[in-house]
Every structure is written in structure tokens, then in C-alpha cells.
Amino acid sequence: MKSVAEFCDEGFIHFDNGIRFIGIDPSRIAVMELLMANDVVESDSKNKLSAPVKLWDLAKVIARFKNPKELELAYDESTNKITIKGVIGKKKKTFKLPTIDIDENLEDPLPALAKIKYNAIFKVGSDLLLDVIKDGELFAESVRFSTHNTILIVSTYGVGGENISEIDTGNEIYGKEKTRYSIKYLKKILTPMGSTDILIMFKSDYPIAIRDKLSEKSHMLYYLAPIVDDKERPDY
């Protein structure tokens, strides 16, 4: 939860057959979704409820529950407050957080993003991808992803030098795609994941989707907007 809050300070909690945390970066460059479905949490919500909340405050509260026997989140529409309850040993803690005012025109972008028909879809180790991103950081602030057969090509070019890394995904990647993304944001997404296999989906001049599967139905999902005005070296 802390990594979510560091990425997006404000967002929404949706209660519906589980819990969905949705955060939108203030610059609107990135969107994240933490889905905790009914295979990892119990939900007794009879109605679909949504509450705008300061994710950083929520993360600080949840951090106070270390290895709880149980943790409960509830939203009361009548008071516009979110209640967090937990049991740790012989202690029972209760916190209440107010909801926040948020841009009324801010809509959930995930339904539209989910309609993107991606061409390049493959799995890769998060630590492996982060390592080559850091290589590219030596020379530039953005990195270009391109594909060829089973290979993901990660490249950067700057005044100080250039870097090309190739990762064999082990599976045929359909379509020759190439798009540039912010190194700063990719590092913010990948660093908290540690070492795990993640699903990458991207398409030329479209947001990249990065999915970390937490369980059969639950996941952490990020969308990062591309840098369309590509002024870097066009080909390698």
C-alpha cells in the first residue's frame, strides 16, 4: 500500500466483491490499480461504493497494523468516513479517515485503457527489466522499448553515450512496436516489485501496461503514458 501512495497521493477506493484502490498521478502521466479481489479479502458490501481518499494517509494507518490477525476496511456514506479496524495480539485498533474533495471531472480512466488492443504482450522478470532501465539512465531520462521476434530491445541515446539491452522473452512477440517512456516513472513502478515475473503490454504511441499478479484474481496494474514527441535517435 505504501508503494501505491508514493506513486499517487490521492485516489479512490471502490468496494465491490473485493476492494480496488485507484490512483492517478497528479500530472496524469500514470494510473495504477491495486485490485484485492474476493480470493484474498472477504467482502460483505451489498452495494457498489466509491470513496475518494488520501492514499498516503491510508497507507500510514495500515502501516500501524503489523501482522494483524484481521484487518477491516469500511466506508460509511452517512459520515463520509473510512474506518480501519485491526486486531494485533491482545490489541484492537480503530482509525477513521475522512474522504476528500476531488476533481468532479476526474473519471476512472481504467475502462477506456482496458479497451486498448495491445500487439506486444510478454512476461519478463521485474528485476531484470529494472536493471536495464538503470543502464539507460546513465545517458537519458527516457527509454525506448522496441520488439523483434522474441526480443525486447531497451535503448537510450544521449549526449554522453548510448545503451542497447536485449531481453529474450522466450515467446514470439507479435508486431514490431517501438515507444518511448519515462525512466523516472518506470523506476517508481518497478522498484517496489522486487523480483517477480510481470506481464508487459505495449503498443506504438500508446500507454504501456505493467501487471504484477498477486493471486488468481488480484493484481497490481500500472499504465504509463508514452512520450510521443520522440526527439531521440530514431533507430539503433
Q: What mean pLDDT, rounded, does the chain reach?
A: 86
pTM comes to 0.86
**Cell (9 digits) for 1:** 500500500
Contact 24, 109 (CB under 8 A): yes
Q: Pick the more confident residue, 109 or 6.
A: 109
Residue pair 203/120 in contact by the 8 Å Cβ criterion: yes
Query: Could you read off the pLDDT of 39-76 as tens digits, one per residue?
Result: 777 777 666 788 888 888 988 898 888 766 678 888 99
Q: How many CB atoms lie within 10 A of CB 64?
A: 12
Closest CA to 53 of 29, 30, 34, 27: 34
Q: Which of 92, 190, 202 is closest to 137 using CA atoms? A: 190
**In 5-119, beta strands by DSSP E:** 10-15, 18-24, 30-37, 49-54, 70-76, 81-88, 91-98
CA distances from 172 to 17, 39, 75, 178 (A): 36, 32, 46, 16
Q: Which domains does the chain have, with CATH numbers?
A: 2-112 (3.10.150.10), 116-224 (3.10.150.10)
Q: What is the CA radius of gyration of the chain?
A: 20
Task: Tell me the per-residue pLDDT of 144-197, one tens digit each, with 9 for 90 and over.
Answer: 999 988 999 999 998 889 999 999 998 888 777 899 999 999 999 999 888 999
Maximum mean pLDDT: which of 59-73, 78-92, 132-146: 132-146
Tell me which residue of 130, 123, 228 sits closest to 178, measured CA to CA: 228
